[in-house]
Structure 1
């Protein structure tokens, strides 16, 4: 796993390219009469930084070149037994994913939508890792999806004690939740495989 300082540098170097996009996005929503609550806006900024963090930790954008060199493990549960620490970290890494989605978007208060989205996001990570950015492992899919489920459970328990008026302030208003999450994810992947490696290796001269 990368050192914390390295994770921060690499994730922030990607995050700076979505920061103005988010400002523009929320400005346009306000102009179109779909103004979002301040709590929702701040939490979306945090959620997007978290997504950059996931890709950084999983090795996406670590090298400045792309070459198709898949290292694939299709044997389930084997690495979970041989590397329990990595298994726990993979679960923990995706817990916020399962928590943020239902907290921010009404469509994701359905656990099936959360699990499907978490699984597809994790699958996308595993596919991108085939381009010399890590190993593709079916166990990662299993543990990441388990983390998403735990994150949803945490949200569900919190929603039982959180006042309705406060919970609603976290939720989006009059937007297509699925499309928004999809566009965020696609944009973040693009940044992490194109601009972020250039910033790290060419601009900051970090190996």
Structure 2
């Protein structure tokens, strides 16, 4: 199987996991989803502040969750410009926020959109930097790391499913 096919398969697995985390809040049952319909258009505004303090954990989580997205766009759109690589990250994050609002399954927040996009941009930059270091082996190295992560996540999800039966 070609390296690009492996990358695409791993990317789809990552997107499924990201969707489960963002839209389904890692719930097994749809009945467990919160019913929230809220929108915040002020960057780093209310939803980012808990008890008067900026909630760094949530913002950092959003940032880190999208770093792999940037790595994947770097691998799959290697010849494209940084802007072209960033567009699917931004648009996917925007789609998640819109879907959360439409189905009332989460707060739609501009801060999430900014942090998700920034995380993806970091991933794209990380891939570009490591490509200079590892040259032609970069995709193979990242595919190996992502495959190991996918196996771990599958095991983790399997345990969650078994425990919740």
Same-fold call, TM cutoff 0.5: yes
Q: Distance in 2 between matches of 1:55 and 1:162?
A: 31
CA contact (8 A) 2:67 2:123 kept: yes
TM-score of the pair, normalised by structure 1: 0.56
Helix, strand or coil at the partner of 2:111: helix
- The 5-angstrom pairing of residues 85-124 of structure 1 reads 85-107=57-79, 109-124=80-95
Q: Is the 8 A contact 2:70 2:121 kept in 1?
A: yes
Unaligned runs of 5+ in 2: 142-161
- Asked whether the 8 Å contact 2:70–2:86 carries over to 1, the reply is yes
Distance in 2, matches of 1:168 and 1:134, equals 35
TM normalised by structure 2 equals 0.69
CA displacement at 1:167 relative to structure 2: 5.4
1:73 counterpart (40, 59, 69): 40
Confirm or deny: 8 A CA contact 2:37 2:104 kept in the other structure. Answer: yes
Measured in 1, the distance between the counterparts of 2:115 and 2:124 equals 14
Q: Which runs of 5+ in 1 are unaligned?
A: 1-36, 171-203
Aligned residues: 136
Q: Pairwise CA RMSD of aligned residues?
A: 3.0
Q: What SS does structure 2 have at the residue aligned with 1:101?
A: helix
